[in-house]
Structures are given as C-alpha cells and as structure tokens.
A = this chain, B = another copy of it.
Amino acid sequence: PYPPSAAVVRAIQEASQHKLTRYPDPQGTVFRRRAGEVLGVDPDGILCGNGSDDILTIVTRALVGAGQVMRTPYPSYILYRTLAQLQGAICEEVSFESDWSLPPRFAAATESLRLVVLPNPNSPSGTLVPPDVILRMAEQLPCPLLVDEAYVDFAETSCLSLVARCERLMVSRSFSKSYALAGLRFGFLVAQPDLVTQFEKVKDSYNCDALAIAGATAAIDDQDWLQSTQTRLRRTREESAVALRQLGFSVQPSQANFLWCTRTDRPLKPVYEQLKSAQILVRYMQYPQWGDGLRVSIGTDAQMDALLTVLRRIL
C-alpha cells in the first residue's frame, strides 16, 4: 500500500537518461553484486528475472519436460499448474494438512518427479513451513525444490541461508510485494552457481531491462526503507487479524502481507460481493475439496479501517 523507496524512482529517472540506447547487461551484474552483499549470498548464485514469474518459467523449462512431473502443494499459487501444462508436464498437487503443514508424501521420491515448488509463506494461507523442515524435505527429494519466497519479507525466517548447504534447494524472490515494485517486473533466484549457469541457457538473453536492473539495485540497497515498511505492515496485519476475529472470522496467523479469513456460519461469496460494491476489493477464493475464504491484503491503516467499517455494517 505504500509507494516504493524514493531512491528507486531516482535510479530509474537517472537510468532513463543514458541507459535506453544500448542492450542491458544480460546478467544484471550490478544487481547481483549488491544483492549478494545485502543478503549474504554468492553473487554467482543469483539469477535475475523479469518478475519472479519469469524465474518460475525458466526453472520449469529447464527442469520439467513433457510427461514428467512437477509437484506443488494445494491450495497454493495457481500459476505453477499452468507452467507445468505449458511444458506438457503433469502437475501433482499434494494437499496441505488442515493445519497447513505438509504431509510426508510431499517429500516422497516418485518416478518422473523433476521439480517440487513450495510457496513459503504460502498463498492464500499466509502460513510458513519452518526452514529446518524444508531442508529435510530437500535432502529427501530426488530433484530440486524451489522455495517461492515471494512473501518472505513479511515473515520471520527464510530459507536463503540453506541454499549453500543443499544443492537441491533453491529460493526465488519477488520485488512486487515487499518492495512495492509490481509495475517494474523484477525477481530473482538464489541457487548454487552451477545451476544458475545452466538456467542462463534457458532465459531470454536480455530478460531484464536497464531500468528494472537500476531500480531493483536501488531497492535492495535501501534496507532502511524495507524495514520501516515491514514494521508498519506487520503491525497493521496483527491489528487487522484481531479485529477480523472479533467480527467472527477464523483468521489464520499470517507471515505474509494478507490474511486468510474463513467462517462457517454464513456464505462468504455475498460478503465479497457486498465489499466490492462498496469499492473494497478483497479476493474471494474457492478451492475444490478444500473450501472457500477471503484473502484480505494488508493496506494502510485507513484502508483497513474502511474495510472493517463496511464489514460491521454487512455482518
């Protein structure tokens, strides 16, 4: 809900004056170096992407062929299934337990399995599988495990430091959520350098433009901005969770920038529609064999107050 760091806008405006005529650096070296320092990872283990969707596409194309299997949890990000379908591959969806933990089957070594993708924190639940559990799964699996950390900047832990310890564990990150740069299209992968070298063969040569590289570098350089935004957003999230529970919702404790709200005493689709007609947009999600709910993104305090006011009227 907050605008990005002013340093990002300045970097883009500066780059727009002298970086447009030539092709961008195919590797985004300046970003990799700065991100490596800030995150404490090997710059050669960073792959820049045109949004983390591009990273997911690159990894899927590199690893999963026609007739092979990609595994994801269910319910989670619906793009994974589409990416498998584009490859003519099979997407095996393993249901979360009712407490949003993963069953042992999620880490089972089965035939033709080529890639496992785990969003962590997950959407729509906002829940997090602990890094030590993920490391054990990666060690058990016969193929790479991509941990999609699009929402991790709102969480308390991450799998980033595990990448160097386990070749099969990879982490993807997005600038669309915590850095407020959805319009810029920038994401990245952290994996062991040998793997990144292979993934580079699959990506478009110039997948990230010069403005995105400049903007993302300025963004990751401004960790003060990130921390202050994180703090504000987490406080709003916790206050909103309390208020929504008081209104009768079952609200999953969240490590992301949204709250997963369910209730059994009344249907949720009409609540979503009444909110929409009051110009408040939340996401109504209906998962077959699982149930429905409202995924409420965290806005400013004023935006959340507006939501609660309308809900008090409706309910």
The CA of A185 and the CA of B51, in the complex, are separated in Å by 14
Query: Which residue of B is nearest A180, CB measured?
Result: B21
Question: Given A24-B185, A53-B204, A88-B65, A12 and B180 touching (CB < 8 A)?
Answer: no
The CA of A8 and the CA of B209, in the complex, are separated in Å by 15
- CB within 8 Å of B: which A203-244 residues: 204-212, 215
Whether A148 is near chain B, meaning CB under 8 Å from some CB there, is: no
- A51 close to B183 (CB less than 8 A): no
Question: Given A9-B16, A16-B16, A180-B20, A185 and B209 touching (CB < 8 A)?
Answer: yes
- B204 close to A22 (CB less than 8 A): no
Encode A237-265 as 1/0 by CB contact (under 8 A) with B.
00000000000000000000000000000
Whether A61 is near chain B, meaning CB under 8 Å from some CB there, is: yes
The CA of A3 and the CA of B17, in the complex, are separated in Å by 9
Whether A50 is near chain B, meaning CB under 8 Å from some CB there, is: yes
- CB < 8 Å neighbour of A66 from B23, B51, B66, B183: B66
Encode A1-35 as 1/0 by CB contact (under 8 A) with B.
01110001100110111011111100000000000
A165 vs chain B, min Cβ distance (A): 31
Whether A310 is near chain B, meaning CB under 8 Å from some CB there, is: no
Question: Given A57-B204, A66-B66, A210-B184, A3 and B16 touching (CB < 8 A)?
Answer: no
Query: Which residue of B is nearest A17, CB measured?
Result: B9
* Chain B CB within 10 Å, residue with most, of A15, A16, A176, A181: A16
- B205 close to A184 (CB less than 8 A): no
- B206 close to A53 (CB less than 8 A): yes
Question: Given A12-B16, A209-B185, A209-B212, A51 and B180 touching (CB < 8 A)?
Answer: no
- CB < 8 Å neighbour of A20 from B16, B181, B209: B181
- A21 close to B50 (CB less than 8 A): no
Could you say which residues of chain B place their CB within 8 Å of the CB of A181?
Answer: 20-21
The CA of A305 and the CA of B215, in the complex, are separated in Å by 37
Query: Which residue of B is nearest A214, CB measured?
Result: B183
- CB within 8 Å of B: which A263-285 residues: none
The CA of A13 and the CA of B15, in the complex, are separated in Å by 10
The CA of A210 and the CA of B53, in the complex, are separated in Å by 16
Whether A202 is near chain B, meaning CB under 8 Å from some CB there, is: yes
- A206 close to B180 (CB less than 8 A): no
- A61 close to B88 (CB less than 8 A): no
Question: Given A13-B16, A204-B57, A211 and B184 touching (CB < 8 A)?
Answer: yes
Q: What would 16 A/B residue contacts be, using CB atoms closer than 8 Å?
A: A4-B20, A4-B21, A9-B20, A12-B20, A19-B183, A20-B184, A24-B182, A24-B183, A50-B185, A51-B204, A53-B205, A65-B66, A79-B205, A183-B209, A184-B209, A209-B209
Besides the contacts A16-B16, A53-B205, A185-B207, what 4 more A-B pairs have beta carbons closer than 8 Å? A8-B20, A13-B13, A21-B180, A51-B206
